[in-house]
Amino acid sequence: KNEVEQSPQNLTAQEGEFITINCSYSVGISALHWLQQHPGGGIVSLFMLSSGKKKHGRLIATINIQEKHSSLHITASHPRDSAVYICAVDHTGNQFYFGTGTSLTVIP
Amino acid sequence: SQTIHQWPATLVQPVGSPLSLECTVEGTSNPNLYWYRQAAGRGLQLLFYSVGIGQISSEVPQNLSASRPQDRQFILSSKKLLLSDSGFYLCAWSFQGRSPLHFGNGTRLTVT
């Protein structure tokens, strides 16, 4: 059993659509991270959150600690949002558990 | 500002040859440092992490090793590469529980 489960694994959307990616975890955490990996391989940190909600541009991340669930939303999706989105949880401060990622393709 | 450098970007090595990948962090002190591997179509696998100079924790026993000779330098090594060592290797840093994970650009290793 994986400590972090993401859904869906693959997602195709039309430009402009509202997108939601879900993440559930089974361990205690100090923080949850959303990461973006572009086709070239580089990984960028989008959000780090331990409660509530954070917004950056068209991206919104929420977390429900009691339910051990987080969502990443993309409003008005654009082809440049096409990437793999990875959920990671900080379990001990030294150890992170990662989901296997959601591959998003936004079609013009 | 903090930056992380990882090199080389790509590497093709024959089976049985040695390996040395280097990662350095600038603009911060005493970071936690990590080596991850990502096999094609799979998630990130933690190989090693370090909370200080000379302190290395191994998560996956295999023919790889890591060293941290300086506070902001993290090296991944192998004496003899296997075909199964092929993959995408990423170095990352964070402050314990207090910062996002910051990744290097990765090294794509192909063992032939």
Contact residues, chain A to chain B, C-beta under 8 Å = 30-31, 33, 35, 40-45, 47-48, 86, 88, 90, 93-96, 98-101
More confident residue, B40 or A83: A83
What percent of chain B has a predicted confidence (pLDDT) above 70? 97
Other beta carbons within 10 angstroms of residue A68's beta carbon come to 17
CA distances in angstroms from B38 to A15, A48, A50, B92, listed in the order given: 29, 21, 26, 13
Contacts with B100 (C-beta within 8 Å, 6 or more apart), sequence order = A33, A45, A47, A48, B94
pLDDT score, position A40: 80
State the Cα–Cα distance between residues A53 and B47, nearest whole angstrom: 31
Contacts of B106 in chain A (CB under 8 A): 41-43
Query: Do B105 and A94 make contact, defined as CB atoms within 8 angstroms?
Result: no
Q: What is the mean pLDDT of residues A65-82?
A: 97
Contacts of A43 in chain B (CB under 8 A): 90, 92, 101, 103, 106
What are the tens digits of pLDDT across the range B15-27? Answer: 999 999 999 999 9
pLDDT score, position B61: 63
What are the tens digits of pLDDT across the range B28-61? Answer: 889 999 999 998 777 888 899 999 999 998 877 6
Cβ–Cβ under 8 Å, residues B50 and B31: no
CB pairs under 8 A between A and B: 51
Nearest Cα neighbor of A54 from A85, A33, A68 is A33
Contacts of A93 in chain B (CB under 8 A): 32, 96-97
Which of A41, A88, A100 has its CB closest to that of B42? A100
* Residue count (chain B): 112
Closest A-chain CA to B92: A43
Query: Do A101 and B51 make contact, defined as CB atoms within 8 angstroms?
Result: no
Confidence check: pLDDT of A95 > 70: yes
The beta-carbon contacts of B3-7 under 8 Å, at least 24 apart in sequence, are B3/B27, B4/B91, B4/B92, B4/B93, B4/B102, B4/B103, B4/B104, B5/B104, B6/B90, B6/B91, B6/B104, B6/B105, B6/B106, B6/B107, B7/B107
State the Cα–Cα distance between residues A75 and A108, nearest whole angstrom: 15
Cβ–Cβ under 8 Å, residues B20 and B80: no
Confidence check: pLDDT of A46 > 70: yes
